[in-house]
């Protein structure tokens, strides 16, 4: 008698509760006015692209700062992330110029600058678990949501779909999970879990304020 082999069940991630909380916070951000106005085409002047450029450049600096002080085995993960992101600000600048969005130099909003500063401070903390939670799980999750929505508007107005946009759509989902396997499993009601939740929620609030500051531009 031939035995039928059942497919192996995929075990839940030991930190699934943290992933779920990040997804919940991202859903709250997506429900905000920025995304509603973006979807309606109210922000098709694309002045938010200048803020995106400031944020992207600052985020890259934070990633390289994190990698520069990382120990093994996190070093390899952090370097890979930084290298894969490294060309994005220049790619965005070239796309912006190619489509004619090169008429002014808009400085970062206070909230954009605050978000960049926060990411750099986390990168300089030297706490790899906090860095993974803020710079990967939350930041890259917010990035994934943003680019999925922004790509729809880029396409709707007829702008060319540069590799910059396609790359983010393809890799941000991978980047948000980078390093999670390095976290020591814990529960949300543990002292460590409470710290993780506090950092996650604080980072979400900072990104939420940043995106809201892009609306009137």
pLDDT on residue 104:
65
Banded model confidence at residue 96, pLDDT cuts 50, 70, 90: confident
From the number of C-beta atoms within 10 Å of its C-beta (0-12, 13-18, 19+), residue 190 rates as exposed
Please say whether the dihedral angle defined by the alpha carbons of residues 161, 162, 165 and 168, taken in this order, is positive or negative: positive
pLDDT digits (tens, 9 = 90+) for 196-206: 999 999 999 99
Which tens digit of pLDDT belongs to each residue from 4-13?
A: 444 444 567 7
In order of their start, the domains of the chain are 16-31+44-213 (1.20.910.10)
């Amino acid at each position: 008698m031939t035995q039928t082999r059942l497919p192996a069940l995929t075990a839940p991630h030991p930190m699934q509760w943290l992933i779920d909380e990040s997804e919940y916070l991202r859903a709250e951000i997506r429900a905000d006015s920025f995304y509603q106005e973006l979807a309606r085409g109210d922000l098709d002047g694309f002045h938010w692209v200048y803020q995106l450029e400031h944020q992207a450049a600052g985020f890259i600096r934070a990633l390289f700062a994190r990698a520069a002080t990382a120990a093994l085995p996190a070093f390899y993960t952090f370097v890979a992330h930084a290298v894969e992101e490294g060309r994005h600000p220049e790619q965005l600048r070239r796309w912006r110029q190619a489509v004619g969005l090169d008429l002014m130099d808009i400085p970062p909003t206070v909230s954009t600058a605050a978000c960049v500063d926060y990411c750099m401070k986390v990168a300089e903390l030297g706490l790899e678990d906090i860095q993974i939670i803020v710079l990967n799980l939350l930041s890259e999750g917010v990035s994934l949501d943003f680019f999925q929505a922004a790509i729809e508007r880029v396409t709707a107005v007829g702008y060319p779909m540069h590799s910059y946009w396609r790359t983010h759509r393809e890799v941000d989902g991978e980047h948000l999970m980078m390093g999670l396997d390095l976290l020591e499993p814990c529960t949300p009601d543990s002292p460590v879990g409470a710290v993780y939740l506090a950092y996650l929620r604080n980072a979400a609030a900072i990104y939420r304020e940043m995106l809201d500051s892009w609306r009137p531009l």
